[in-house]
Chains A and B, each alone.
Chain A
Amino acid sequence: MSHLPASITDWFAARDWRLRRHQEEMIAAARAGEDALLVATTGAGKTLAGFLGSISDLIENPQDGLHTLYISPLKALAVDVQRNLLEPIGEMGLDIRVETRTGDTPSDRKLRQRQRPPQILLTTPESLSLLLSYPDAETMFAGLKAVIVDEVHAFAPTKRGDLLSLSLARLQHLAPGLRRTALSATVRDADLYRGWLSSDGDYEGVRLVEGEAGADPSIRILLPEDRVPWSGHSGRYAARQVMEEIAAHRLTLVFCNTRSLAELIFQDLWSENEEGLPIGIHHGSLSREARRKVEGAMAEGRLRGLVATASLDLGVDWGDVDLVIQMGAPKGSSRLLQRIGRANHRLDEASDAIIVPGNRFEYLEARAALDAVEQRELDADLWRPGALDVLAQHIMAVACAAPFDADALYAEVRTAAPYATLDRDTFDRTLSFIESGGYALRAYDRYKRITQGADGLWRVSHPRFAKQHRLNAGIIVDAPVLDVRFRNGRKLGTVEEYFASTLRPGDTFFFSGLSLEVEGVKDTDLFVKATAKPARIPTYVGARMPLSTNLANRVRTFLHDREEWRRFPADVQDWLEIQQQRSVLPAPDELLVETFPREGRHYMVAYSFEGWNAHQSLGMLITRRMETMGLSPIGFVSNDYALACYSLKPVEDPRPLFSADILEEELVEWIQTSHLLKRAFREVAVIGGLIERHVPGKRKTGRQVTFSTDLIYDVLRKYEPDHMLLSAAWEDAKGRLTDVGRLADLLDRAPRTMVHQQLDRISPLAVPVLVLIGREKVAMGTADDELLIEAESLAEEAMRLA
C-alpha cells in the first residue's frame, strides 16, 4: 500500500481498514492505464475500488476540469454515491469537486457544470448522451482520464447499454487516453461484459478483477404450517408470518415481482400489523416525492419493513437491511442473489433471506433457486446486436455537437461492441433516416434535419433541430399515463392510460398503499379520494420477468428424480406421487401434454416450462390453429410452467398443434397485426426521433390529439415495408416480448419428445395453472371467496385416486 498517496493510506489506517486485494488490483490497473472490469458481490467496497485510482491520480496530478465520469443506470444511485464518495474525500481532506448531473438537476447548475466542470461528475447514460450533444463537448471532455460504469450487469445488454457504448466510443475519440472501468455484480460470463467494455472489441484488453467471495447466504423457504397452497403466485397467504419476521428484524425488504402484487402484499401486511410497525411501499409508478420520502425514512432508520419491486433492485445503499424476503418465486438465480445481497453489506457475514413460494410449482422453483445459489450457477444474459433506433439518436447527438464526417463516424461507431458488425449500408440508411426520414420517396429534401456541406461534413440544418433533439432524447419510453391525484392536487403517482380507461367513478383500487375511490378523470389527471371500501387491483402493462432456463431445467429434473422429493414438504410429495399414479411425470427432456374434459369443456395442458412470455405467444398461436381445425377454442391461460387451452371440442391429437410451421404461418401474421408490434413501433419511433415524446405538462388535451403512431405504422407498412424503423420494431418485438427463440426450440423438440396423456379428469399437476382460469372468470369483490371455493373443488377432484 506504500505506493498510494499518504492521505489515502492514512484514511484507511484511521478506520483500521485494510485495502482488499481487488481494490489493490483496481488501483494497479488504473496506474497502468488499463481498462478493467471488477466483478464482486455487494458489500465488497466495489464503488470505492472503482474510484481509488482516480482519487490517487487527482492527488498526485491535480488538474482542473473533468477528470472522471461515473455513470450509473439509476438517478438515485448517482445521488447515493455522491454521499458515499464525498464522505471519504472530505475525511481525507482533499480538494476534489464532485457533482451529480441527472434529468432532475436544475438547469442553472447544468449550465455551470458545462462551463466549469467538476473533477468528478456522477451521471446517467442519458445525461451523458445529452452532454455529448453540446458544441462544447469537445473542450469539456478533452482532459477526461477515466470513466467508471457502475452496475454494468443491470443494463449492458439493453438499449441503454447500446447508448452508453456509443457514448463511450465518442468519449474515446474526444479523449484518446481515456481509461474505462466497469463494476458488476457476479455474472455468469464475465468475458461478455469485458467485451462490451472494451474499446477495440478485444475482451482480453480489459483486465478482469474478481472480488473475494463473501460468506454463503443463509436462505430459507417459508412454509406456514409446513403447507404449500395449490394456487396463487404471490405468497399472500403468509402475510402473518412475514409480519412476524419484520417484527423480529431491524429492517426487512420484501421484494415482489410486480407492482400490483406489491400493492396487494402491502395491504395484507398492513392488516396483520397489530403492533403498528412503520412499513412502507416503493415502486416505479409512485411519484418521485413519495419514493424519496420512503427512501429517506429508510436511510434514517425510521422504517422496519419496505415492500418493493425491481425499483429497488439496484444496489442503492440505504439503511441497515438485515433481512430480505422474496414473495413468490424468484424467477432466476442471479436476480435472487442480487436481491439477497441487499441484506447485510459486510462480506464476512451471511446475508439472511426468506423465499415465500405462492404455489407448488413455485415451491419447486424456490428449491431450484436455492440449489443454484448454493452451486453458484447464475443465469445467462441475453445479448443482441445494437438497436438502430438508439444508433439514430446517437448520430443526431453527434451532429448537434459539431459537424461530422460520415466515414469517420462509421468507423467510430463500429468500435462500440454492440455495433461491431454493423454494415455500411445499414449505417447509411440510419443516416438517411435522420436526414429526412429515410423514405424511398424523397419528399422531404427541403426539410432535411442534417445536411452535407461542400466540405463533405454533415451538420444540423437549423438550431431548432438540436433543441428538439435534446428535449426528446432518451431511451425509456413510458406508456401513456395519467397522474393519480387527490382533489387538493397532491400527486400520488401514475397509472397507465389503458388501466385508467377501465375505471368509472365509484370504482376502487389499491395504490400507494391506500384504497382509493375514483372521482373522475380530467385531462391527464385521475382524481381519487381515500376510501374504506374494498379495492380492486391496479393492473400494469409490461413484460414480466420470465423464468430463467436455468431454473426451469432444475424444476424439470425435480419432477423426474424421486430422490429429490424427500427434501420436499409432505403435501408437495403427495402432489407429485398422485400425479405419477394418475398421469405421468415427464422426464427432463419430455413435453407432457394432458387432455381431459371438465364441466362441459375440453382442456389441453402442456407442461413446457418456457416461461410466461413464450407461453402467452404459444397460446395465441395454438388457439388460432385450433380455430382453423374446427375445435372451437374458448381461451387459454398460462403461467411460467404450463399452458392450458380450453375448447368446446376435444383435442384428440395434440401433435399437429405443436409443429414448427406454426411459427412461419401463424406467428408472422399474428405479430404483424397485433398490438405488440405497434407498441414496439411507438418506442422505436420515439427513440429514433421520428416523433416527439409527450413531454409532461405539454400534452395536448381535448380536441384531436396530434397523431397516432398506430396510423403511422399502418401507412408505413403499406408503402415502405422495408423501412429501417419497421425492421427495428420487428427486432424489438421478436426478441423482447415473444421469446421466439424459446418457442422455436420447444416446437422443434415437440414431435420427438411429446408424451400425450388422455385423462378422464383433471390431474394434480394441472391445478396451479387451471386455478388461473377461475381468476379471470370470477367477478370482483367476492373474488377471493369464489376463488378459494373453486380451487378447493379442483384440488379435491385431482387428488381422488378413483
Chain B
Amino acid sequence: MVPLSFCGHELVPLAEGAIYWPLRNAILLADLHLEKASWFAKRGQMLPPYDSLETLQAVKAAIARTEAEEVWCLGDSFHDREGCERLAPEARALLESLTAQTDWTWITGNHDPGFVDTCGGTIADEAEVDGLVLRHEADPADPRPELSGHFHPKLRLRLRGRGVSRRCYVMSETKIILPAFGALTGGLDASSPPILRAVGGEATALVPTREKLLRFPLAA
C-alpha cells in the first residue's frame, strides 16, 4: 500500500480498485454496477448471475484488509434503479451486513438516479468531505479537489508484442477518477478524449502493484 499526496490529503490507491483514506479511515469505491447481469438477463442475454456476489465479496475483503469504518460509493452502484430489488438472497444478506457494520453512503450516478434504499446506507447526490468533493462524474468547471468515477478508466499498452490491459486511476492536479470496481464492468482507454477532458488535460494513469505505485503520463 503506497500512499499518494493529493491536494494536501494522503490517499492510498489500492490494487483492487478502491481508495483508502487514512484520515477518515474510509474507503471509496466507484461503479460497482451491481445486478448488471440480471439487467441483461431481463433482455434475453443470460449473463452469469454471480456478478453482485463477486463484487460484494471483493468489497468485503477491501473493508477487512483496511479495517475501514466508512464507505463511500461514487455512483452507478447498481446497474439501474431497480437493481437493489433484484439482489439474490445471499448477495442481499452480504450487502446488508456491510452497510450495517460501516458508515455507508451511496452517491447516485447516471445508472442509478434516485434509487430507493432497501439495503441500508444513506443516499446523496454528491458530498464535500473534509475539503474533497465526491461525486459520480467529474465536473471540469469545479476547481475544488474532487474524486469521481463514471468513466471506468483502463490502461492499455502493448509490451513486447503482448497487449496488457489494467484498471487504473487517472489523476490530474485537482481530480482523481477511480476505476470501476464491479466484476462485470468494461473499461475505457485512460487516454481517451472524454477522460482527458473530464480531468482537464495533463494527467497521469496510476496502477498500484503490491510494492509500487506505477505512474504513466497520459498525453493531453
Contact = CB atoms under 8 A, between A and B. Distances in A.
Interface of A: 433, 436-439, 441, 443-444, 446-447, 449, 464-465, 468, 498, 501-502, 690-692, 702-708, 711-712, 714-716, 718-720, 723
A715 B186 contact: no
Contact of B156 (A443, A501, A690, A711): A501
A439 B45 contact: no
B152 A447 contact: no
Given A444-B41, A449-B44, A439 B49 contact: yes
Interface stretch (B6-14, B117-125, B187-195): B187-195
A716 B151 CA distance: 25
A289 B163 CA distance: 32
Interface in B157-210: 158, 163, 180, 183-188, 192, 194
B115 interface: no
Given A447-B42, A690-B45, A703 B183 contact: no
Interface of B: 36, 38, 40-42, 44-51, 53-54, 88, 151-152, 156, 158, 163, 180, 183-188, 192, 194
A103 to B, nearest CB: 22
A706 B186 contact: yes
A707 B156 contact: no
A692 B46 contact: no
Contacts of A444: 38, 41, 46, 49
Nearest to A444: B41
Given A437-B41, A447-B41, A715-B184, A720 B47 contact: no
Given A706-B186, A712-B184, A502 B47 contact: no
B183 A711 contact: yes
Contact of A436 (B46, B54, B88, B151): B46
A692 B41 CA distance: 12
B186 A691 contact: no
Nearest to B152: A704
Contacts of B194: 702-703
Q: Which 10 A-B pairs have the closest CB atoms?
A: A437-B46, A443-B49, A719-B50, A705-B186, A704-B152, A716-B48, A444-B41, A447-B41, A704-B186, A708-B186
A501 B158 contact: yes
Contact of B88 (A437, A441, A690, A704): A441
Given A465-B44, A705-B188, A707-B186, 12 more contacts: A436-B41, A437-B47, A447-B42, A447-B44, A447-B46, A501-B156, A501-B163, A703-B151, A707-B40, A711-B184, A715-B54, A719-B50
A704 B185 contact: yes
Given A443-B49, A718-B50, A702 B185 contact: no
B41 A443 contact: yes
B20 to A, nearest CB: 24
A498 B163 contact: yes
B157 to A, nearest CB: 10
Contacts, number: 95
A436 B44 CA distance: 8
B187 A712 contact: no
Contact of B51 (A436, A715, A720, A723): A715
Nearest to A706: B186
Contact of A464 (B44, B51, B158): B44
Between B49, B53, B185, B192, the greatest number of chain A beta carbons within 10 A of the residue's beta carbon is seen for B49
Contacts of A716: 48, 50
A438 B194 CA distance: 38
A21 B12 CA distance: 83
Contacts of A436: 41, 46
A443 B88 contact: yes
Contacts of B156: 501
Nearest to B185: A704
A718 B55 CA distance: 13
Given A443-B38, A443-B88, A704-B180, A712 B44 contact: no
Contacts of A719: 48, 50, 53-54
Contacts of A723: 48
B25 to A, nearest CB: 30
Given A441-B88, A707-B36, A720 B158 contact: no
Given A436-B46, A449-B44, A465-B44, A715 B183 contact: yes
Given A690-B47, A707-B185, A502 B41 contact: no
B32 to A, nearest CB: 13
B47 A712 contact: yes
Nearest to B35: A443
Contacts of A690: 45-47
A719 B48 CA distance: 9
A468 B163 CA distance: 33
Given A441-B88, A443-B38, A443-B41, A702 B188 contact: yes
Nearest to A464: B44
A702 B192 CA distance: 8
Contacts of A501: 156, 158, 163
Nearest to A435: B46
A439 to B, nearest CB: 6
Contacts of B186: 704-708, 711
A720 B50 contact: yes
A441 B188 contact: no
Nearest to B189: A501
Nearest to A442: B49
A117 B88 CA distance: 50
Contacts of A714: 183
A456 B92 CA distance: 35
Contacts of B184: 707, 711-712, 715
A6 B159 CA distance: 71
A686 to B, nearest CB: 11
B47 A707 contact: yes
Contacts of A708: 186-187
Contacts of A498: 163
A501 B161 CA distance: 11
